[in-house]
Amino acid sequence: QDGKVTPSSDASIGETLQRPIVLISILWFFLYGGVEIGTGQLANTLFVESRGISQETSSAWISAYWGSFTLGRMLMGLLAIRIGDKWLLYGSMMIAILGGGMLASNLHEVTSFGGLMLLGFGLAALFPILISQTPMRVGKRYAPNTIGFEVGFAGMGGAILPGITGVIAENAGLEVISLLIFVNAIIVLVLYQGMLWWEAKQPKLSTA
């Protein structure tokens, strides 16, 4: 006990990937990345080519989407202190689902704009909070590999899922873009609940 950390103290990649909670978490980040990036990338096609909104207005709305995302990140710390991480995550996901539903409903330009803003604001807190909770969720031994996978798969989801959505939209119609954003926002919440359920079944893990 000289205080040094032995190589065996960290799990291998193979050991990490054998844990179901890690796989659920990785899938969550993959879908999250697809929703966040996909909304920003595909909203312009949806607005301009499907809903007849001018390019100038669409560009302004998408800029506002990223602005609401930034505002949400800025307010995240204050909100977490007041209501706690768990309820902030639940509330944020419900806001994102509401926004996705408003966007998919296509009732009016105002509801589309409002839905886009709610999506940005609702998604803002999810990534940093879930990353910070990783050691608690999977245990210190598996946390370094898991965080690497989470970050990588979030980027992968942002790169892959918008492309898949675009291919589907070419065949099923452009309005499917908003529907898939809405459905993926719901799945993000379902997977988060799955992580909590699995975590509750396991013995308390060391995060020290």
Q: Read off the pLDDT of residues 110-119 as tens digits, 9 standing for 90 and up.
A: 999 999 999 9
Mean per-residue pLDDT, 51-56: 92
At residue 1, the pLDDT reads 40
Give the sign of the dihedral formed by CA 120, CA 93, CA 195, CA 76: positive
Q: Which of 30, 204, 167, 47 is nearest to 115 (CA)?
A: 47
pLDDT digits (tens, 9 = 90+) for 147-169: 999 999 999 999 999 999 999 99
Give the contacts of 100 (CB within 8 A, at least 6 positions apart). Answer: 115, 119, 178, 181, 182, 183, 184, 185, 186
At residue 13, the pLDDT reads 87
pLDDT digits (tens, 9 = 90+) for 167-192: 999 999 999 999 999 999 999 999 99
Q: CA angle, 156 as apex, 126 and 195 as ends, to 5°?
A: 40
Q: What separation in angstroms does the CA of 115 have from each of 15, 122, 190? A: 41, 10, 20
Q: Which helix (H) or strand (E) holds 205?
A: none
Name the DSSP letter for residue 35. Answer: H
Task: Give Rg (Cα) of the chain.
Answer: 19
Task: Tell me the pTM.
Answer: 0.87
At residue 9, the pLDDT reads 64
Per cent of the chain over pLDDT 70 is 92
Contact call for residues 65 and 120 (beta carbons, < 8 A): yes
Neighbours of 56 (CB within 10 A): 9
Residue 93 scores a pLDDT above 60? yes
At residue 183, the pLDDT reads 95
